[in-house]
Amino acid sequence: MRNTKSIIGNFHFGPKPDFKRKVFDNITKLTKLSFGLALENSYLYVSAKIVSYLI
């Protein structure tokens, strides 16, 4: 009985901050990824403009 109680206690109190932290980490990863993609796209756009000016 004690084991199931501790498992239930861990289930109730353990994952919540961890879950929030995981969500926060995923959000930061996504923002970094989208920011990196935006930078890469702008760089490609600028280089394409330069190339089009040269040609």
Please state the domain extents for the chain: 20-55
Distance CA 22, CA 30 (A): 12
Distance CA 54, CA 50 (A): 6
Q: How many CB atoms lie within 10 A of CB 46?
A: 10
Can you tell me which residue has the tokens 């330069």? 50
Residue 14, SS3?
Answer: coil
pLDDT in tens, 1-55: 555 555 555 555 555 667 778 888 888 888 888 888 888 888 888 888 888 888 6
pTM more than 0.75: no
Check residue 12 and give its pLDDT. Answer: 56
Based on its alpha-carbon atoms, the radius of gyration of the chain, rounded to whole angstroms, reads 23
